[in-house]
């Protein structure tokens, strides 16, 4: 998993999932068709027209795969619609100084890389020219800046393995059927409280 992309900077701290996709769009029963709803209330005016000053409406966002966000990205609601909307828009990674837990898990399950970098690297990325591209490589867990500087990022080894090898997590859990059955058989206490 290697890709090159311009950055879409959205340097705001604590961007919550209600901003990423407002709740009124969660009445859908499908995973599809969420790209237009991404950042809807920041992106469109009351008439549904694109706001020209919002970054996703600007040329540099078109075809870009990397969002550069502020600290604690994805806080709030657990809605997986957030990574669905981000990936459907075309994002393959979000770079920040930290991520909220549930968002991070949801992203990894949707091949959206939550890349944590130190504040000084974050600052350097924010200074890049609009056209500058970086390279993200999952195998080496690295981001390469235009000046050639390589920055490593942490990622859960199991998620990395699943993403690189195309392992499906549910399939992996299902293979543990005998361990699950054994646990249920030996469980002390009240597994059966609803029966």
What residues line the site for other proteins (CB under 8 A)? 11-14, 16, 18-19, 22-24, 26-31, 41, 46, 70-72, 75-80, 98, 100-102, 105-106, 109-110, 156-158, 161, 169-170, 172-174, 176-177, 179-180, 183-184, 187-195
Q: How far is the CB of 51 from other proteins (least distance, A)?
A: 14
Min dist. Cβ of residue 4 to other proteins (A): 27
Q: Shortest Cβ distance from residue 141 to other proteins (Å)?
A: 15
When the beta carbons of 26 and 145 are compared against other proteins, the nearer one is: 26
Nearer Cβ to other proteins (57/135): 57
Indicate the residue among 131 and 165 with the shorter CB distance to other proteins: 165
Comparison of 62 and 176: residue with beta carbon closer to other proteins: 176
Measured from the CB atom, the residue of 1 and 174 that comes closer to other proteins is 174
Facing residues of 16 across strands?
Answer: 75
One-character DSSP codes across the chain: -EEEEEEEEE--TT-BHHHHS-GGGGG-SSSSS-GGGTTHHHHB-TTSPBPTTSGGGSGGGTT--EEEE-SSBTBS---THHHHHHHHHT--EEEES-B-HHHHHHHHTTT-EEEE--HHHHHHHHTS-TT-EEEEETTTTEEE-TTS-EEE----HHHHHHHHHT--HHHHHHTTHHHHHHHHHH--S-TTTT-
Least Cβ distance, residue 57 to other proteins (angstroms):
18
Q: How far is the CB of 192 from other proteins (least distance, A)?
A: 7
Tokens 């930290």 -> residue: 98
């Amino acid at each position: 998993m290697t890709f090159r992309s311009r950055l879409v900077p959205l340097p705001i701290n604590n961007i919550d999932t209600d901003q990423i996709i407002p709740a009124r769009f969660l009445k859908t029963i499908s995973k599809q068709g969420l790209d237009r709803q991404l950042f809807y209330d920041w992106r469109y005016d009351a008439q549904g027209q694109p706001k020209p000053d919002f970054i996703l409406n600007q040329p540099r966002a078109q075809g870009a795969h990397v969002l550069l966000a502020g600290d604690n990205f994805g806080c709030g609601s657990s809605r997986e619609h957030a990574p669905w909307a981000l990936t459907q828009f075309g994002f393959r990674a979000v770079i920040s100084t930290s991520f909220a837990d549930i968002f991070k898990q949801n992203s990894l399950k949707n091949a959206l890389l939550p890349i944590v970098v130190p504040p000084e690297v974050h600052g350097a990325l924010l200074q890049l020219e609009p056209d500058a591209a970086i390279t993200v490589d999952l195998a080496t867990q690295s981001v390469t800046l235009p000046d050639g500087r390589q920055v490593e990022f942490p990622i859960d080894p199991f998620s990395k393995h699943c993403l690189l090898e195309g392992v499906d997590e549910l399939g992996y859990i299902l293979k543990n059927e005998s361990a699950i059955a054994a646990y249920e058989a030996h469980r002390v206490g009240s597994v059966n409280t609803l029966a």
